[in-house]
Amino acid sequence: MKTEIFIPDYVEVLINTLEKNGFEAFIVGGCVRDLLLSKTPFDYDIATNALPEQMLECLNEFKCIPTGLKHGTITVLSSGRSVEITTYRSDGEYLDHRRPQSVNFSADLNMDLARRDFTINAMAYSRKTGIIDPFGGRNDLERQLICCVGNPQKRFDEDALRILRGLRFASTLGFGFEKETFKALLNSKELLREISAERISAELIKLLCGENVKKVLMECSEIIEVVIPEIKPCIGFLQHSKYHKYDVWEHICTCVEKAKKDPIIRLTMLLHDIGKPDCFFMENGEGHFYGHEKTSAEKAQKILKRLKFDTDTLERVVLLIRSHCFNPSDNEKQIKRMLSRLGEEAFFQLLDVARADNSAKNDFCMDILKTISLCEAKAKEIIEKNECFSLKTLAVNGNDLLQMGFKGKEIGKKLDFLLQGVIDGRFENKKDSLLTILRDMI
């Protein structure tokens, strides 16, 4: 009996058009996998035996973009949505562990599926034919296994990025690895040095945002070490602290799993304690890591720069790591000072960091989660009431001080002085009152 899978109209119309013109057409890869798992695909890819020029001819009623003609790919806009359509193909020799030197167009769907990475990504479907599954991908979905198509070592030798893709699927799907596939993952890990930093960082973020991330980070730490060698000293490093029940690496992995599924927060948790081994010392039988937030921030900056993360991500993660040892409080003045120093977005992100950090310690540390929630509620109240905690909400500005005769850097110093006075409750946030204070100082 054929399995029925829902295909959106904007995709179905493209398949129907190709079939009406005498060609085969199937949705393939990740979208089939996701649909069989009752997930909504992020996008849809179509494979066909039509050559690129034949696709362009029979889909001429749609806007077609020749995005990769030499690889047999065009992008078609259907009802405002992009769909990639690719001619069946087999790949030539891989010389750089990333891309084939050439591709050969084929009329055989099975040959096209055979070049793919994992069995769960090597299925095709159309309403006309049903599911095409020559490598047992559906069975591996049921067994919840990541298994390579064909020889695992060959698959990773061809394209080393598949190593991180495998880890990503294990993290996001909660699957384990087939025995030979896992062995080949470990054997091939050094090939990741051949992959561009941008590709690695993109896969790393997807991996970190998975539900099963702790298990993957713990089991595959040897592979992560190739990408981030700075984690090696953390693995198995005992903390000898009443606050901690895990070694440094397991604490880090638990923090990532406990954290909000936000790329900035999870990346912060991955790196927030990476400087701890450098700062460790024992005192009266208790382990201490004074200053580790600064060391971790410095290491994180180098790592993120090396992996070519964008500047905004780098700066925000480093700021959160440098600030992560703060003591949450529902004290209004303290909250205003932190809002002033960090800005609203970073302040609330820091609270998310604190939640994850304390959730990965000994049980009594969970008591602080209530304080963090009170701190968050108070901060939201301050913002809703439009209370002053930043220069933009201060009743005077630089122009007011220019008119009083202040110049250059002195303007910034005086504005900061007034802001701190307002935050501390010493001054009223009223223009006349603040200007009078400055006149009295003169």
Q: pLDDT band at residue 32, thresholds of 50, 70 and 90?
A: very high
* Single-letter amino acid code for the residue at 109: L
- Using DSSP, state whether 45 is helix, strand or coil: strand
pLDDT tens for residues 380-436?
999 999 999 999 999 999 999 999 989 999 999 999 999 999 999 999 999 999 999
Contact of 203 with 213, CB cutoff 8 Å: no
**Out of 206-210, 321-325, 400-404, least confident range:** 400-404
**High-pLDDT (> 90) share of the chain, %:** 91
pLDDT tens for residues 345-357?
999 999 999 999 9
Q: What per-residue confidence (pLDDT) applies to 244?
A: 95
Q: pLDDT band at residue 322, thresholds of 50, 70 and 90?
A: very high
In this predicted structure, the answer to whether residue 361 has a pLDDT above a threshold of 90 is yes
Q: What per-residue confidence (pLDDT) applies to 97?
A: 58
Q: What per-residue confidence (pLDDT) applies to 125?
A: 96
The pTM of the full predicted model, rounded to 2 decimals, is 0.91
Q: What per-residue confidence (pLDDT) applies to 104?
A: 84
Q: What is the DSSP string of 225-287?
A: HHH-GGGGGGTT-----TT-SS-HHHHHHHHHHHS-S-HHHHHHHHHTTTTHHHH-EEETTEE
Q: Which long-range contacts (CB under 8 A, 24 or more apart) does 384-391 make?
A: 387/336, 388/336, 388/419, 388/422, 388/423, 388/429, 389/335, 389/336, 389/337, 389/339, 389/340, 389/423, 390/339, 390/340, 390/343, 390/419, 391/415, 391/416, 391/419
pLDDT tens for residues 86-144?
999 887 566 655 565 657 888 899 999 999 999 999 999 999 999 999 999 999 999 99
Token duo for residue 334: 């303290």
d(CA 138, CA 2): 13
Q: pLDDT band at residue 164, thresholds of 50, 70 and 90?
A: very high
Q: What per-residue confidence (pLDDT) applies to 101?
A: 63
Of 71, 45, 66, nearest to 55 by C-alpha is 66
Q: What per-residue confidence (pLDDT) applies to 69?
A: 81
Crossing angle of the two packed helices 197-208 and 161-173, in degrees rounded to 10 = 10
In this predicted structure, the answer to whether residue 78 has a pLDDT above a threshold of 70 is yes
In this predicted structure, the answer to whether residue 1 has a pLDDT above a threshold of 60 is no
- Using DSSP, state whether 397 is helix, strand or coil: coil
Q: What per-residue confidence (pLDDT) applies to 216?
A: 98
Mean pLDDT of 258-271: 98
**High-pLDDT (> 70) share of the chain, %:** 97
Q: What per-residue confidence (pLDDT) applies to 171?
A: 98
